Each structure stands twice: as C-alpha cells, then as structure tokens.
C-alpha cells in the first residue's frame, strides 16, 4: 500500500481538519520533494504494491504534468506488477473533459474519488465548496464518458438546516449516476476548523442527534434499494467495488505514506511526516524527511485493532487477536452480545446494525488496560 498526500486546495472547506494549504507558489517544489521522498524511502515497501492512493487536500489541483512526474517516479521506485487499484481524489470543478482525457492517458489511475458533498447549492455554500450542484452531476458523467468505470463519490449528511427531504433528494440524485461506491459521512465539528468558529459564534447551529440519526437510516434504506452493500459505517459499494486501499487500513495492513503530514505503518511502528510545507520540502532536500514516530505496545496494537475493526460490518477477526488477549476480549464482549450490539461467530465478533452506531463506545468497553502476563488467562 502506498499513500501520497497532496495538501493543496483552492480554498479551505469549513469542516476540514486535514492538513492542507491554500497556495500555488510551492506546488512544483512540493512535487519534487514528494518524488525525492519516494526515492529515499522506497526500500521500506519491498513488496509489490497492490494499491496506490492520492489523497489530500485536492490531488486534482495538480497539473497533468505534475501527476505524470509523480507516476513516473512511482513506477521507477516500486514494483507495480500486482497493482490492483490506483485512486485519485478529485473535486468536481477540476474534472473537465480535457483533464479527464489526460488522466486516462497516464495509464495509471483506474479509480476516482470525487468530493461532491451535496447536490444542494445551499449546502455547498455553507461548506465553502467551489463547485455547484450542477457541476457535481457533470463531473461524474464526464468521468464515466472518459472511461473511468470505478467511481466513488462523497456526500455529507447532518448539515445545519438540512432537512430529511433535502438529504433524501441528495441520495435520489445518485440513483441516476454511474457510481460504484459511496462514502457518506455525518458532519462533525472538528477543533480548529472554520465550522467550529461559526458554531462558537452562534452563526451555525449543528443538527441535533435525532436529525442525524434519521439521515443515517435514510441512507441505509437508499443503499438497500439501490443495491449498495454497506461494508463500513460510512462506506457503501456495488458488489465487488469496495475501496481496496481503505479497507486495508481497517485490518492494520502495513503501508507507506509520502508527503507532508502523511502517516506510515510497518506493523508495529507508526511514523508521520511534519505537517508543514516548507519544513517538509527542506528536510527532504537534505535527505532526511522531518518526522516523528512511535512504537505501539501489544496492548496499544490490540486496542487499535478494536477501534478500526468495529467500524466494519465484518468486525473483529479472532485470527488477528493475539492469544493472550482473546479470552479477555471474549469475556468483555459477552454482555454486548447479550444486549444485541455484537454477534459472535466462530471467527468474528461482528457489530449488529445497532452496534455499528455505537462502534466507538463498544471499542472502549472492549479495550484492554494493559498487556496480560503470558501465563494469565484473562485481561483486566
């Protein structure tokens, strides 16, 4: 797995807490640094890549020439003989027919993830998006016309003043579009965002919990009727079209992340690059990307597995739980199984539909406080 962070945006969305920069002056320097980091760190990913993901930020803000430079570097530094999925995140306003033809001519990307967020112009203005509802439809149709047949879109629900009817209208728009995947997220007010300031200043009133829940249930009804399978609390796909890349994060598959603020994981150690454009660029130029890291204890790794796995409909695979932790997990899970929040099978603890809605709380109840002694039969 390879992730590349492209931190540039035309403007900052009100809800976004990811590292990004509204600037154009340093884009080429950043692309050069990203390619150099790939050369410096490719030995950390010795196995053939199965997935590559360009995330952001807004990767589609880069020129076709800049994307080509990155793709050529990836092909030189990594083994792509087993590549199954290469995704580019994009915003609708960038996906002109000319740009889409150029992407196809790179002969690399086979999946686009398009950040629509809403088919309502009122919602888009609230979120500080640059595109219109009409551009949302046009972008998806243009991508399909250009030959992209694995298309994912993002929508946000639970927006301030977003009625159930408006949310259902958003979902109805999807039914006529050639998409294979939907990521639908409840709006959250993240610290440090423009949205948080608007809420603090009483300029925006967040949706209440009952409204958000009604939107979520409408989402589930739409998915069932449209033939989309839910495989993670916020992700739905047509059969055979899950995000291969993102699915691997949830089972803690090792991955390499390149770019400012990008995270990497080798199975036991997490590493993250500095979230600062110039410090990142300069440190790469000196041959040592500025970063921090931490080695996870067995208990931390187990608890992290709980948090990620419980977001998926598959739940916790017992095979992935180290033996010293399994008995304690089974004991702590018993009351949740009795309450109808978990289902135990010979191989998994799976969240029920009600359990998915409480995934984070369930994970807390199942967490281990410390590493069990090897001779111990329980975890407390």
> Looking at the chain, which runs of residues are DSSP E strands?
2-6, 51-56, 85-90, 111-117, 151-157, 181-186, 229-232, 235-237, 256-258, 263-265, 269-273, 291-295, 316-317, 342-344, 348-351
Closest C-alpha among 275, 365, 238, 204 to residue 17: 275
| Residue that finishes a domain, picked among 249, 264, 287 | 249
Kindly report the CATH number assigned to the domain that includes residue 164.
3.20.20.70
The pLDDT value given to residue 370: 58
The answer on 358 and 212 residing in a single domain is: no
Q: How many CA atoms lie within 13 A of 378 on its CB side?
A: 4
The answer on 193 and 55 residing in a single domain is: yes
Report how far residue 111's alpha carbon sits from residue 246's, in angstroms, rounded to the nearest whole number.
13
The answer on 316 and 216 residing in a single domain is: no
Closest C-alpha among 271, 280, 257 to residue 31: 280
- Given a contact cutoff of 8 angstroms between Cβ atoms, the answer to whether 109 and 86 are in contact is yes
Kindly report the CATH number assigned to the domain that includes residue 319.
1.10.10.920
The answer on 341 and 239 residing in a single domain is: no
**3-class DSSP state for residue 38?**
helix
| Partners of 316 in the β-ladder | 349
- Residue 285 falls inside a structural domain: no
- Residue 244 falls inside a structural domain: yes
Report how far residue 213's alpha carbon sits from residue 86's, in angstroms, rounded to the nearest whole number.
33
Phi-psi region of 171 (alpha: psi -120 to 50; beta: other; left: phi over 0): alpha
Report how far residue 200's alpha carbon sits from residue 180's, in angstroms, rounded to the nearest whole number.
38
| Residue that finishes a domain, picked among 230, 249, 268 | 249
- Residue 261 falls inside a structural domain: no
Query: In terms of DSSP H, where are the helices of 190-255?
Result: 194-200, 209-226, 244-250
- Residue 254 falls inside a structural domain: no
Report how far residue 245's alpha carbon sits from residue 313's, in angstroms, rounded to the nearest whole number.
17
- Given a contact cutoff of 8 angstroms between Cβ atoms, the answer to whether 65 and 12 are in contact is no
Other CB atoms closer than 10 Å to residue 340's CB: what's the count? 11
| Residue that finishes a domain, picked among 249, 268, 285 | 249
- Residue 52 falls inside a structural domain: yes
The answer on 319 and 232 residing in a single domain is: no
The answer on 237 and 178 residing in a single domain is: yes
Boundaries of domain holding 341:
298-366
Q: Flag residues of the chain having pLDDT under 70.
A: 370-380
Q: How far is CA 107 from the centre of its chain?
A: 24
The answer on 189 and 60 residing in a single domain is: yes
Please give the order of strands across the beta sheet that includes 263-265. 263-265, 269-273, 291-295
- Residue 304 falls inside a structural domain: yes
As for how many domains the chain has, the answer is 2
- Residue 142 falls inside a structural domain: yes
Measure Cα distances from 234 to 27, 180, 205, 272 in Å. 31, 14, 23, 25
The answer on 23 and 141 residing in a single domain is: yes
The answer on 230 and 131 residing in a single domain is: yes
Query: Each residue of 230-273: pLDDT tens digit?
Result: 999 999 999 999 999 998 888 788 999 999 999 999 988 999 99
Please give the order of strands across the beta sheet that includes 151-157. 229-232, 235-237, 181-186, 151-157, 111-117, 85-90, 51-56, 2-6, 256-258
- Residue 379 falls inside a structural domain: no
The answer on 308 and 225 residing in a single domain is: no
Alpha-carbon dihedral 219, 142, 248, 107, rounded to 10 degrees: 170
The answer on 316 and 175 residing in a single domain is: no
The answer on 113 and 182 residing in a single domain is: yes
pTM above 0.75? yes
The pLDDT value given to residue 25: 74
Report how far residue 244's alpha carbon sits from residue 193's, in angstroms, rounded to the nearest whole number.
30
Closest C-alpha among 144, 147, 111, 114 to residue 131: 114
- Given a contact cutoff of 8 angstroms between Cβ atoms, the answer to whether 182 and 140 are in contact is no
């Amino acid at each position: 797995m390879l992730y590349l962070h492209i931190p540039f945006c035309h403007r900052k969305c009100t809800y976004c807490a990811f590292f990004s920069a509204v600037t154009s002056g340093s884009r080429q320097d950043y692309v050069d640094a990203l390619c150099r980091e790939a050369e410096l760190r490719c030995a950390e990913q010795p196995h053939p890549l199965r997935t590559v993901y360009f995330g952001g930020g807004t990767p589609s803000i880069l020129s076709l020439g800049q994307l080509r430079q990155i793709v050529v570097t990836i092909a030189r530094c990594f083994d792509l003989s087993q590549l199954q999925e290469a995704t580019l995140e994009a915003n609708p306003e960038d996906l002109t027919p000319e740009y889409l033809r150029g992407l196809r001519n790179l002969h690399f990307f086979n999946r686009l993830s398009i950040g629509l967020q809403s088919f309502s112009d009122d919602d888009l203005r609230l979120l500080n998006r640059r595109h219109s509802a009409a551009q949302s439809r046009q972008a998806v149709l243009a991508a399909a016309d250009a030959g992209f047949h694995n298309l994912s879109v993002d929508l946000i629900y639970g927006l301030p003043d977003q009625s159930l009817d408006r949310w259902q209208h958003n979902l109805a728009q999807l039914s006529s579009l050639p998409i294979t995947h939907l990521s639908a997220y409840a709006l959250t007010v993240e610290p440090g965002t423009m949205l948080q300031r608007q809420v603090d200043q009483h300029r925006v009133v967040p949706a209440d919990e009952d409204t958000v829940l009604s939107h979520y249930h409408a989402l589930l009804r739409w998915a069932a009727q449209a033939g989309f399978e839910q495989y993670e609390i916020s992700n739905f796909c047509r059969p055979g079209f899950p995000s291969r890349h993102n699915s691997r994060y949830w089972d803690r598959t090792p991955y390499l992340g390149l770019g400012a603020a990008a995270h990497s994981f080798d199975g036991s150690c997490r590493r993250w690059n500095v979230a600062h454009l110039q410090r990142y660029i300069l440190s790469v130029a000196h041959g040592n990307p500025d970063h921090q890291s931490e080695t996870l204890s067995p208990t931390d790794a187990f608890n992290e597995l709980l948090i990620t796995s419980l977001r998926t409909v598959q739940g916790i695979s017992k095979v992935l739980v180290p033996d010293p932790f399994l008995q304690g997990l089974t004991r702590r899970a018993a009351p949740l199984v009795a309450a109808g929040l978990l289902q135990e099978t010979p191989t998994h603890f799976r969240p029920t539909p009600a359990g998915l809605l409480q995934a984070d709380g369930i994970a807390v109840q199942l967490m281990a406080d410390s590493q069990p002694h090897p001779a111990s039969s329980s975890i407390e």
